[in-house]
Amino acid sequence: MDKLVKYLEDNYNISNEEIALLEQCVEAYTYTKGSCISSVGAIVDKIYFIDEGIMRAYYTGETDLEITRRFYFENDFCTNWVSFRNRIPSVEYIEAVNDVSGVSISFSDFMKLLETSTNFKNIYAHILEKFQDYHLKKFHFINNLTLLEQVNGMELYFPKLRQKISNKLLASFLHITPQHLCRVKKKLIK
């Protein structure tokens, strides 16, 4: 809870009363590496704030190739916003990439927070804007750059990925096989 409060204090103007409300709603969680946090077909009922560790949201394509939509790191909010907001079944999995811990907020408690505070509504709107910005950036990255440019430009576009993610998961983020990523990396070395 301390890291979430610090994050909110550092990035938003949050009052002591709002912090007290939040404390009543959050629940601590820990997941071990490889744990499935949310499955395809289930309605996502929680927002996870990550204190430590990495999560990812992914789905399997037509050829059973895993496609990672997004990685979530420390101080990120992780959920499938479409499933969470609209109360519809998720089309992706959320998985712990490594051991991960933090706090979560259920849908019903989250709705209570939004009803009690305009500030929480503004924070929520800002989180959704960041979510949209991220996906527009990734859409441009995947659709407008060659694979060589993507691998070469990873530091510029997604700096945390190369340092913290395995080649297998990095390949899934790029929508390719690990073998294909290996061949592209060899071209960069030449």
Query: Residues 48-106: pLDDT tens digits?
Result: 999 999 999 999 978 888 999 999 999 999 999 999 999 999 999 999 999 999 999 99
Say how far apart CA 8 and CA 14 lie, in whole Å.
7
Evaluate whether residue 40 is within a structural domain: yes
Task: Write down the pLDDT at residue 188.
Answer: 73
Over the stretch 133-167, which tens digit does the pLDDT of each residue have? 999 999 999 999 999 899 888 888 888 887 889 99
Could you tell me which of 96, 16, 21 has the C-alpha nearest to residue 51?
96
The number of folded domains in the chain is: 1
Residue 13 predicted with pLDDT over 80 = yes
Evaluate whether residue 122 is within a structural domain: no
Task: Write down the pLDDT at residue 190.
Answer: 61
Evaluate whether residue 69 is within a structural domain: yes
Evaluate whether residue 186 is within a structural domain: no
Contact between residue 84 and residue 134 where contact means Cβ atoms under 8 Å apart: no
φ/ψ of residue 99, rounded to 5: -60, 135
Could you tell me which of 95, 83, 79, 102 has the C-alpha nearest to residue 172?
95
Evaluate whether residue 98 is within a structural domain: yes
Quick one: DSSP state of residue 79?
S
Specify the CATH number for the domain of residue 101: 2.60.120.10
pTM of the model: 0.92
Structural domain span for residue 58: 2-116
